[in-house]
């Protein structure tokens, strides 16, 4: 016999649990299904554990720079990876348990552990049980991509998930992929004490960013002793006794690098291949992402897709925003849309990169008249006082409407300060609001009015 609910939610990532709580509160009967760890990627193998590790790595870095700040540590700064992992597990575990306890404590909400698959557009099977609902919400997230590169079957490799079990210091960590995840792990493990090489297929790191950002981040990595190998066109893997050789075939430099461990950080794959989507008639794109409209409805009435699996965002905040859009539209009769949100994210290297809106390249491509300004962090007094002067602030605005088009803050506090500009963008206010605001001294944000007073036409 089918068990009938008002809503079925598949996955407990960043959208599913909040949606379950909101529906349950509204008096709907809900079932939420999780096949692995409650809280999904962010909580267990993504944001929370990695940022906890980044904090340990930052502390080790500051300790090693003690002499610059006027203190000495008697003896070398060595990192106890078991304790680093224990700290990470505690922080991440608290969130994981919190999500599970929260869901299990909700009135009107049934929690099932198991792998869910569609049987039809209104039914889902889990642990041989058939669940039925008129509304089904897919929040299945994604996993690390493992491309079929030569030799991949012959060597052990790590992903962001298996990195979570590492409680030792790899002698030489070779990271394939020079984008957001690879850079965070790379700097963190260098600071823990590993030798680190980042191998990137493209001509620069974080190829989606502007060239000046890629270049500044490369310099930041190399200044800490991280080897960066670009243009690695034909990456291949092979065993070399107890080590692993990563063939690079770069235009310059040795053709391979031999490390003790390899981390693959070459993108994400949506968890949509074993979900029975064909039985429900739900359309996916060629990369496996579920096709959704501006309100996150799939092509099948009554089925929505939220979070990383819909290809409309790859962040915790985009997944959570998906939840808000769906819940407000269904429960409050709102008309919220994905296209209303402004692109924003951070890269959690040290210093971090905070980003919002368009890149310079996108601004130029748009062909609109624009003004832009750039200011080095070495001329931001708070950064000088903290001894953290790497990076820069840059902002571009529309010359006619005076609206902020985009900004990047690569520098201390950049992940927080960027919100000053982001919120003005949401307010659709002119940049002069920030330019004329009195900001607090000494902060990084106090320089935003100065930067905005130096805008020049974009060529
Ligand atoms: C290393 C790393 C660092 C990151 N750092 C950041 C960061 O700093 N900031 C940020 O915003 N984002 C970050 N992200 C991205 C962020 O983690 C994801 O965007 C976020 O978790 C959103 O995921 P989601 O809600 O789509 O689903 P997920 O969190 O991926 O959860 C999906 C859940 O669905 C379950 N599931 C899948 N299939 C089934 C099925 N058939 N049946 C039942 N359950 C199923 C899975 O087990 C999983 O628990 C990071 C990602 C990684 C990998």
Give residue-wise pLDDT tens across range 355-389.
999 999 999 999 999 999 999 999 999 999 999 99
For residue 351, whether the previous peptide bond is cis, meaning omega lies within 30 degrees of 0, is yes
Whether the pTM exceeds 0.85: the reply is yes
> How many whole angstroms from 394 Cα to the centroid of ligand 1?
30
pLDDT at res. 253: 73
Measured CA to CA, the distance from residue 408 to residue 352 in angstroms comes to 10
pLDDT in tens, 124-174: 999 999 999 999 999 999 999 999 999 999 999 999 999 999 999 999 999
Q: What is the mean pLDDT of the chain?
A: 97
Helix residue ranges, H only, 106-172: none
Ligand 1, atom nearest to 163 Cα: 1
Backbone angles phi, psi at 325, to 5 degrees: -60, -50
Is the Cβ atom of 402 under 6 angstroms away from ligand 1? no
pLDDT at res. 438: 98
Angle at alpha carbon of residue 321, lines to 317 and 325, rounded to 5°: 175
With cut-offs at 50, 70 and 90, classify the pLDDT of residue 204: very high
- Tokens for 205, please give them: 């790191």
Sheet holding 256-259, edge to edge: 236-240, 243-247, 256-259
Ligand 1, atom nearest to 37 Cα: 49
pLDDT at res. 249: 75
With cut-offs at 50, 70 and 90, classify the pLDDT of residue 255: confident
pLDDT at res. 224: 98
Is the Cβ atom of 311 under 6 angstroms away from ligand 1? no
Is the Cβ atom of 13 under 6 angstroms away from ligand 1? yes
Q: Which among 9, 15, 42, 55 is the best mutation to test ligand 1's pocket, defined by most ligand atoms within 8 Å of the CB?
A: 42
pLDDT at res. 233: 86
Q: Which among 18, 31, 32, 47 is the best mutation to test ligand 1's pocket, defined by most ligand atoms within 8 Å of the CB?
A: 47
Ligand 1, atom nearest to 41 Cα: 29
Is the Cβ atom of 307 under 6 angstroms away from ligand 1? yes
Measured CA to CA, the distance from residue 169 to residue 80 in angstroms comes to 9
With left for phi above 0 and alpha for psi between -120 and 50, is residue 308 left, alpha or beta?
Answer: alpha
Residue 250 confidence (pLDDT) above 70:
no
With cut-offs at 50, 70 and 90, classify the pLDDT of residue 196: very high
> How many whole angstroms from 303 Cα to the centroid of ligand 1?
20
With cut-offs at 50, 70 and 90, classify the pLDDT of residue 183: very high
Q: Which helix (H) or strand (E) holds 307?
A: none
Ligand 1, atom nearest to 14 Cα: 25
Is the Cβ atom of 44 under 6 angstroms away from ligand 1? no
pLDDT in tens, 323-365: 999 999 999 999 999 999 999 999 999 999 999 999 999 999 9
Whether the Cβ atoms of residue 39 and residue 169 lie closer than 8 Å to each other: no
Residue 248 confidence (pLDDT) above 90:
no
pLDDT in tens, 64-80: 999 999 999 998 999 99
Ligand 1, atom nearest to 51 Cα: 8
> C-alpha dihedral over 360, 396, 417, 439, to 10 degrees?
160
Ligand 1, atom nearest to 345 Cα: 11
With cut-offs at 50, 70 and 90, classify the pLDDT of residue 452: very high
Q: Which among 18, 312, 315, 415 is the best mutation to test ligand 1's pocket, defined by most ligand atoms within 8 Å of the CB?
A: 315
> How many whole angstroms from 207 Cα to the centroid of ligand 1?
23
Q: Which among 39, 41, 111 is the best mutation to test ligand 1's pocket, defined by most ligand atoms within 8 Å of the CB?
A: 41
Residue among 350, 340, 397 at smallest CA distance from 377 = 350
Please list the residues that pair with 410 across neighbouring strands. 353, 392
Measured CA to CA, the distance from residue 84 to residue 231 in angstroms comes to 34
Is the Cβ atom of 124 under 6 angstroms away from ligand 1? no
* Catalytic residue annotation: 441
Protein residue with its CA nearest to atom 39 in ligand 1: 140
> How many whole angstroms from 40 Cα to the centroid of ligand 1?
5
Is the Cβ atom of 317 under 6 angstroms away from ligand 1? yes
> How many whole angstroms from 112 Cα to the centroid of ligand 1?
18
Measured CA to CA, the distance from residue 43 to residue 394 in angstroms comes to 32
Residue 252 confidence (pLDDT) above 90:
no
- Tokens for 20, please give them: 């379950």
């Amino acid at each position: 016999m089918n068990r009938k609910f008002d809503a079925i939610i598949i996955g407990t990532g960043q959208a599913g649990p909040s949606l379950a709580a909101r529906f349950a509160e509204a008096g709907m009967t809900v079932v939420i299904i999780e096949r692995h760890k409650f809280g999904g990627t962010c909580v267990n193998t993504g944001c929370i554990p990695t940022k906890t590790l980044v904090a340990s790595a930052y502390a080790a870095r500051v300790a090693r720079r003690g002499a610059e700040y006027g203190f000495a540590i008697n003896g070398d700064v060595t990192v106890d990876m078991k304790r680093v992992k224990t700290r990470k597990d505690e922080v991440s575990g608290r969130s994981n348990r919190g999500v599970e306890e929260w869901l299990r404590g909700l009135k009107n909400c049934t929690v099932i552990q198991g792998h869910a698959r569609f049987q039809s557009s209104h039914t889902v099977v889990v642990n041989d049980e058939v669940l039925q609902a008129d509304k089904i919400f897919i929040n299945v997230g994604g996993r690390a991509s493992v491309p079929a590169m030569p030799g991949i079957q012959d060597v052990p490799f790590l992903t962001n998930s298996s990195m979570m079990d590492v409680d030792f210091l790899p002698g030489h960590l070779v990271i394939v992929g020079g984008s957001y995840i690879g850079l965070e792990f790379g700097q963190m493990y260098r600071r823990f004490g590993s030798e680190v090489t980042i191998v990137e297929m493209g001509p620069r790191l974080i190829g989606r960013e502007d060239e000046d950002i890629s270049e500044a981040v490369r310099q930041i990595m190399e200044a800490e002793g991280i080897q960066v190998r670009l243009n690695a066109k034909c990456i291949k893997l092979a065993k070399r006794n107890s080590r692993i050789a990563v063939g690079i075939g770069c235009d310059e430099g040795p053709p391979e690098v031999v490390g003790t461990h390899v981390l693959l950080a070459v993108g994400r794959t949506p968890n949509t291949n074993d979900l029975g989507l064909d039985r429900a008639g739900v359309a996916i794109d060629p990369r496996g992402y579920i096709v959704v409209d501006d309100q996150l409805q799939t092509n099948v009435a009554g089925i929505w897709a939220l979070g990383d699996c819909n290809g409309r965002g790859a962040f915790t905040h985009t997944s959570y925003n998906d939840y808000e859009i769906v819940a407000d539209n269904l429960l409050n009769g709102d008309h919220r849309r994905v296209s209303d949100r402004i692109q924003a994210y951070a890269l959690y290297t040290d210093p971090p990169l905070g980003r919002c809106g368009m890149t310079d390249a996108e601004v130029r491509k748009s062909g609109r008249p624009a003004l832009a300004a750039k200011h080095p962090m070495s001329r931001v007094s708070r950064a000088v006082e903290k001894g953290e002067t790497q990076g820069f602030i840059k902002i571009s605005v529309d010359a006619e409407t005076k609206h902020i088009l985009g900004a990047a803050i690569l520098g201390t506090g950049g992940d927080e300060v960027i919100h000053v500009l982001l919120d003005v963008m949401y307010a659709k206010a002119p940049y002069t609001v920030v330019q004329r605001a009195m900001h607090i001294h000494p902060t990084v944000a106090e320089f935003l009015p100065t930067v905005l007073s130096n805008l020049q036409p974009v060529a």
